[in-house]
Every structure is written in C-alpha cells, then in structure tokens.
Amino acid sequence: MRNKSLVVVLVSAFLPFALIAGQQESEKTDLQYEIVVTASRIATPLKEIATSVTVITKQELEQTKKATVIEVLQEVLGISILQSGPVGSSASVMLRGANSEHTLVMIDGVEVNDPITPARTYDFSHLRVEGIERIEILRGPQSTLYGSDAMAGVINIITKKGQGKPRFHLSSLGGSYETFSGTAGLTGNVERLHYSFWASSLTSQGFSAANAALEGNTEADGYKNLSLSARAGYKASDNIDLDFSARFIDTKSDIDNYGSAFGDDPNNIQTYDSLYLKGHIRGLFLKNRWEQKLTLSHVNSNRETDNPTDEQHPFDSDRSLYKSSMIKLDWQNNLFLHKSNTLTFGAEYQQEQGESSYHSESVWGPSTSFFPLKKAHNTGIYIQDQMRLAGVFFMTAGMRLDTHSQSGLSRTYRIAPAFFIQQTNTKLKATFGTGFKSPSLYQLYAPGNIWGPIGNESLKPEETTSWDLGIEQDLWDGKVRLGGTYFSNLFENLMEYDYTQGYINITNASSKGVEFFLEFAPAENLAFSASYSNIVAKDQNTGESLLRRPKDKFTANLNVRFLAKARLRLSLTHIGARDDQEWIDWISTRVQMDPFSLLNCTISWDIFPNIQLYLRMDNILDQQYELIKGYGTPGLSAYGGFKIQL
C-alpha cells in the first residue's frame, strides 16, 4: 500500500510539468519512422521492415543517464536481464524466452560473443554507453544474414561517427555505493576525415554480490572500469570510403564464490580486458548501382580470476585464466537493380580460438584442469532480395549456407513480408525463418575429468524454426503509434551437459507469446511510451517452464521538457514471477521468485547552452528483489552529475 501511494504522489507531482511542457516551443517530439541498418544489412526505413525491431536512439541514451548498456536494455521489450550482483558482475540478456547464447551481439556489425565461454555468450557487464550512437535490437531468428548464434535475435551497438565542427565532451557522475564516473570525448570532421574519440572510467564500491539478505554475506564487491574507443574514417574519393574503429576495455571486479548463504569471499578478484578492432572499406561502382563492403575485424579477450586463501576460507584457493580471439572477414555486395528491388549477397570467413587453465587447492588436495588451445572456423555465403512495390508492399527473402569445421553444414532461410495500408496508416507484417547455433569450443573439445567426459566432437548445431504475425498502426497525424505481435519459436537439438556423456544434443524447447507497444507524443516536448510482453517458455521434454524467464514484463516511460531548459524522465519496469534454482547443501530446488517493479527518475537542467546538470534516482520504491536467485541487487540509489559540450 505504501508503494502504491508513493506512485500516486509522484505522478501527481509531475503532472503540472507535463501540462507546462505542452506550451514550450523547443524540440518537437512527433513520432517518425526510424532508419535501421541491422534488419537488412542496408539502411532501410522501419516502415518497410517486417522484423520486430526496437531502436534506442542517441537521444534516448542521453535521457536515461545510465552508465552501462545492460542498464539501458532492462527497459527493452522482449528482453530479460540477468546479472549476478552489482555493476561489473556478469550480465547477459535473453530474447523472447530463448537462452542468452541464442542472441548475437555486435558492435558496428562485428560479433563480439566470446568463444571461450562455455556456450559462447557475451558478457554485457563491462560495456559503457559512452561513444554509442544507437542500439538496434532485432527479435526473431537472423541467421540468414548473420549466421550462428542469431537464433533468437541480434543486438547491434552502433558507435558515434564524428560530424561537424570539432566538439569536446566532458561528463561526470557520482552517487550511491561510492560510485564515480568520468568521460571525455572529441568528435568532428575535417573535409574528408571524420573522427570520434572517447575515454571513460568508472569506479564503485558496490554491494555484496551474494545477497546481503542471506546469512554470511556482508562484504561489498567493488569495480573498476577503463574504456577507450575510437572511430575514424576517410573519404578517399567520391566512391571510396574507409572506416576504422577500435575499443579497449580493462576492468577489475570483486566477485563472490556463489549466490547463497555464506557465498561471500573478501579477496576473490576477477580482471578482464578486451580489444576490438575493425577495418572497413566501401566502394560504389556501375554508376552507384553496385555497392561493395569489405570488413576485417579482430576481437581478443582475456579473463583471469585470483582467489587466495583468507580467514573465511583458510584452506581453499583457486586461480583461472581464459583467453580467446576471433578474426572475421566479411564481403558484402548490394546491387540496386531498380528502385523496387535490391539484391544483397556476400561471403564470410571466421576463425576463433580459445584456451583456459584452472587450479584449485582445498582440504581434499590440489586440482588442475587445462583446456588446450583449440580452433574452429566457419565459412558462410548468403543472399537476400529486398522488394518494394508501389510503396505499399515490402518483402525480404533470403537463404544462407554455413560450413563449420567440426559440426558441418547448416542451411537457413527467412521470408518477411509487410503490407502498408496508406489510407489508414496500418502496417501488417509477418516473418517466417530458421536459425542455428554451432557448438562452442568448450562444448566440442573440453577435456574430460575423473567424473566423466565433457566435450563432444560429434555435436550437431542447435536449430530453431520461428514465425510471427503483427500489426502496427499510426494515428493522429503520426502522434500515436501502437502495435502488437504474436510469435512462436521452436528450438531443437539444444546442447546440455550430461554427467555420464558430456555435452549432447538432447533438449527441445519452445517459447511463444505476445508483444505490445504504444508510443504517444500528444504535444511538443511531451512523449509517453509503454510496452508489454507475455512469454511462455517451456522445456518440451519435461513440460516445465524454463528458468529465469518472466512470463510478464511491462515498461512505461514519460519524457517531459518544461521551463524551456529542464527535462524529466520517469520510467517504470515491472517484471513478473519466474522460476529459478536455489542451492542448499549442494542440492538444487526449483523455486519461484517474486515479481517486482522498478521506478526510476532522471531530471536534467541546461543551466547554460553547453552545460547540463542532472540527477538520477533508481529503484525509488526501494524494492527488494533478485534477478538470479541468491544474488544481490541495488536498492534506492541516487546519482548526480554534469555534462559539458564545447
């Protein structure tokens, strides 16, 4: 009752600002269709795309005042967030009820899923928002264009490209959990050269990764992050463009042994560094009817843990090192055959490698495990036809062949038509397609131990068949947009670990549900959006619900600009009940975690044209909740900062 009353008070307090905002004359908030790149590999109006897409623009990133990408993704339709503690703790996402490894994560179109993780996932915990222009999230299988790992969808993080006169950016943030963040950037272009350079640091004392509400968990787990990024390009001629981007991340995290009572560890440290490099050349030929893009990328990651003995664990210690790298060559061709038809085709070659070592000591004696350097490569070819007829019918259809060095051939296809009724501003859309995921290096080659085998070189790729149907409607001269989608996914040959056989293709699963969204801009400087998803994800073999998938998720955002120089952003995220596993005395039990609601608020004030002050409050209702059973989450938090642009 107290929380409901607080919501009423907050809404009542901010209502006058909404009324004032309707009278302001600054920026306009009418809804408009975005241009997206990821859905078809070429810039395409969202109006022509049948894929379910969410675009987080640079304005929205700026308004949230969030420090990390994982915080921003918490509010996105169809995404479930998993994080094992405070900032810097391992973090992943699940799209439409699928596993986290079924989402392909890219930076500027280059995949960054880590080859040495057991299932080849991406850890979002260290990715800062600085230097990011926009984030495009595609729901549904995208293997036809992007190959392995894109079974449930794609998250593409697109970095900023320098434009206009040189501009210097400086920002700082500080607040709860002794958190401090600083960022500096320089962007612009000079004639044919554009550039964008960013440096940021983040430190936090954090809170206990193992939930402090459980016995024995009292020590806070801190975090340090240094991130450097750069993007530069040169227009060599009227039809040749060069582009280069790089990102370096160096972090240090305090972690705990596990998420349960007495999971605390005062000196368990994890360090992580990664380097991302991308070179890109683009050419236009045949009077600009043939576009070619050649991209070479390299991603390298190192993760190390050091957990010596301490007073709480006088006989237990462990050390580990995980190293991986990936190189990829992508040759893409776009043939603009006619204003109504674009043919995209290309080829990719990717090689990945990884190795790891682990050593522990306990009262039972020493134990050592080595994963020797292993490599795998994949070659893929793809083709897609994008059609536009009379401005009312749009369709993409494509297919792809991939050959993995160990698991063999995979075939995928996809068709995605959309029909736009101009008289009513209605879009009808549908997609049907397949996806796959090749086995990871660990799943293929992990050496066995005294308990039995682990890796299995006979593994086959995981597969999915998915479809969805949706409708989108514009009203009130584009001031209102709403839509709904029904989707169904079937996952087959999923890989799971069996104590007697190691990894095997044994599990089938499904997810189905509905997604709704509403965007409403009734007046200048006033915008409201909301989304709701209902997802049922089950293990087809047992009939049980898949773990950590909330059936219901609701989000709402209110953005108000008032008094010409001030902006208010209110956001509410509700996560429904979901099942998880609780470990007690080395025995796991399925438990249901309670639903929770997070109310966040950001207020910013442009005190001068180039100087802004802001205040951010998270979890205003001070909800006690868990994302993963046994792991802590932040309570009521407040942060203040400034931003300068010169």
Rounded to whole angstroms, the Cα distance separating 593 from 333 reads 48
Question: Which conformational region is residue 213 in: left (phi greater than 0), alpha (psi within -120 to 50 degrees), or beta?
Answer: alpha
In sequence order, the 6+-apart residues with CB closer than 8 A to the CB of 592 are: 577, 578, 579, 580
Q: Are 560 and 526 in contact (CB under 8 A)?
A: yes
Rounded to whole angstroms, the Cα distance separating 163 from 412 reads 39
Give the CATH H-level superfamily of domain 2-645: TonB-dependent receptor, beta-barrel domain (2.40.170.20)
- Counting as low any pLDDT under 50, the low residues of the chain are 1-31
Q: Please report the pLDDT score of residue 4 as a whole number.
A: 39
Q: Are 40 and 53 in contact (CB under 8 A)?
A: no
Rounded to whole angstroms, the Cα distance separating 639 from 646 reads 24
CA 96-620-84 angle, to 5 degrees, is 50
Rounded to whole angstroms, the Cα distance separating 642 from 172 reads 6
Locate 367 and state its tokens. 């134990």
Maximum pairwise Cα distance, the chain: 76
Q: Are 440 and 120 in contact (CB under 8 A)?
A: yes
Q: Please report the pLDDT score of residue 33 as a whole number.
A: 57
Locate 609 and state its tokens. 């044209």
Q: Are 285 and 296 in contact (CB under 8 A)?
A: no
Q: Please report the pLDDT score of residue 588 as a whole number.
A: 84
CA 392-396-398 angle, to 5 degrees, is 165
Q: How far is CA 217 from the centre of its chain?
A: 30
Q: Please report the pLDDT score of residue 5 as a whole number.
A: 36
Q: How far is CA 535 from the centre of its chain?
A: 19
Residue 528's SS3 state is strand
Q: How far is CA 147 from the centre of its chain?
A: 18
